[in-house]
Chains A and B, each alone.
Chain A
Amino acid sequence: MARLISFFEATGSLFAILLLWYLATRYGTLSEFLLPSPASVLARIADDTASGDLPTSLLLTLRTAGLGFAIAALAGTTLGIAMARIRLVHWFFDPLISLGFPMPKIAFLPVFLLWLGPTAASQITIVAVSAIFPVVVAAFSGAEGVEKTQLWSARSLGASRHGLLWQIVLPAITPQLFTGLQIALPVALVTTIVAEMLTGSDGIGGIMLGAMRFADSAGVFAYIIVIAIAGTLVFRGMERLRARLLRWHPEQSH
Chain B
Amino acid sequence: MRLIDFLIRWSPLAILALAWEAAPRLGLINPQSLPPLSVVAVSLWQLAASGDLLTNGLQSLWRLVAGLGLAILIGVPLGAAMASNRIVNVIVAPIARALYPMPKSALIPVLLLWLGLGNASKITLIFLGCLLPVLMSAYNGVRGVEPVMLWSARSFGRGPLSVLFGVAVPAAMPELLAGIRSALALSFVLLVSSEFLMARDGLGYLISFLGDGGAYAPMFAAVIVVSSLGFAADRLFLGLMRRMLAWRG
Asked if A and B touch directly (CB within 8 angstroms), the answer is yes
- B103 in contact with A220 (CB, 8 Å): no
- B211 in contact with A114 (CB, 8 Å): yes
B9 contacts across to A, CB distance below 8 A: 91, 94-95
Question: Given A95-B12, A96-B12, 6 more contacts at CB 8 Å?
Answer: A9-B90, A106-B189, A106-B193, A110-B219, A111-B219, A224-B107
B33 contacts across to A, CB distance below 8 A: 114-115
A102 contacts across to B, CB distance below 8 A: 185, 230-231, 233-235
- B106 in contact with A92 (CB, 8 Å): no
Over the window 104-134 of chain B, the binary record of Cβ atoms lying under 8 Å from chain A Cβ atoms (1 yes, 0 no) is: 1111111011100000000000000000000
Residues of B within 8 A of A (CB): 8-10, 12-13, 16, 33, 90-95, 98-110, 112-114, 182, 185-186, 188-193, 196-197, 204, 207-208, 211, 216, 219-220, 223, 226-228, 230-231, 233-235
- Total A-B pairs in contact (CB under 8 Å)? 159
B235 contacts across to A, CB distance below 8 A: 102
19 CB contacts below 8 A, A to B, read: A9-B94, A17-B95, A96-B13, A102-B185, A102-B235, A106-B193, A106-B196, A111-B223, A114-B216, A130-B189, A190-B103, A191-B105, A192-B103, A194-B108, A194-B189, A209-B108, A212-B112, A227-B103, A231-B101
Q: Which of A1-34 contact B (CB under 8 A)?
A: 9-14, 17, 33-34
Nearest Cβ distance between residue A228 and chain B, in whole angstroms?
Answer: 4
Nearest Cβ distance between residue B108 and chain A, in whole angstroms?
Answer: 7
A104 interface residue (CB < 8 Å to B) = yes
A223 contacts across to B, CB distance below 8 A: 106
- B106 in contact with A204 (CB, 8 Å): yes
B112 contacts across to A, CB distance below 8 A: 212
Nearest Cβ distance between residue A190 and chain B, in whole angstroms?
Answer: 4
- B109 in contact with A211 (CB, 8 Å): yes
Chain A residue at minimal CB-CB distance from B16: A96
- A215 in contact with B113 (CB, 8 Å): yes
A29 and B31 alpha carbons, distance in the complex (Å): 56
Residues of A within 8 A of B (CB): 9-14, 17, 33-34, 91-96, 99, 102-111, 113-115, 130, 183, 186-187, 189-194, 197-198, 204-205, 208-209, 211-212, 215, 217, 220-221, 223-224, 227-228, 231-232, 234-235
With A95-B9, A103-B230, A104-B192: A13-B95 Cβ-Cβ less than 8 Å: yes
A209 and B197 alpha carbons, distance in the complex (Å): 9
Among the listed A14, A190, A228, which residue makes an inter-chain contact with B105, where contact means beta carbons less than 8 Å apart?
A190
- B196 in contact with A104 (CB, 8 Å): no
Among the listed A11, A189, A205, A224, which residue makes an inter-chain contact with B94, where contact means beta carbons less than 8 Å apart?
A11
A227 and B219 alpha carbons, distance in the complex (Å): 32
- B13 in contact with A193 (CB, 8 Å): no
Chain A residue at minimal CB-CB distance from B234: A102
Among the listed A96, A107, A109, A193, which residue makes an inter-chain contact with B106, where contact means beta carbons less than 8 Å apart?
A193
Nearest Cβ distance between residue A10 and chain B, in whole angstroms?
Answer: 6
A91 contacts across to B, CB distance below 8 A: 8-9, 12
Most chain B CB within a 10 A radius of its CB, from A93, A190, A191, A232: A190
Among the listed B91, B102, B191, B231, which residue makes an inter-chain contact with A231, where contact means beta carbons less than 8 Å apart?
B102
- B102 in contact with A107 (CB, 8 Å): no
- A107 in contact with B110 (CB, 8 Å): no
Chain A residue at minimal CB-CB distance from B98: A14
Most chain B CB within a 10 A radius of its CB, from A109, A130, A183, A192: A109
A130 contacts across to B, CB distance below 8 A: 189
Among the listed B16, B93, B113, which residue makes an inter-chain contact with A220, where contact means beta carbons less than 8 Å apart?
B113
Nearest Cβ distance between residue A172 and chain B, in whole angstroms?
Answer: 25
Among the listed A11, A95, A183, A186, which residue makes an inter-chain contact with B101, where contact means beta carbons less than 8 Å apart?
A186
Chain B residue at minimal CB-CB distance from A99: B231
Nearest Cβ distance between residue B226 and chain A, in whole angstroms?
Answer: 4
A223 and B106 alpha carbons, distance in the complex (Å): 8
A94 contacts across to B, CB distance below 8 A: 9, 12
- A194 in contact with B105 (CB, 8 Å): yes
B101 contacts across to A, CB distance below 8 A: 186, 228, 231-232, 234-235
A115 contacts across to B, CB distance below 8 A: 33
A235 contacts across to B, CB distance below 8 A: 100-101
B191 contacts across to A, CB distance below 8 A: 104
A215 contacts across to B, CB distance below 8 A: 113
A229 and B211 alpha carbons, distance in the complex (Å): 34
B16 contacts across to A, CB distance below 8 A: 96
- A104 in contact with B189 (CB, 8 Å): yes
- A228 in contact with B98 (CB, 8 Å): yes
Chain A residue at minimal CB-CB distance from B211: A110
- A104 in contact with B106 (CB, 8 Å): no
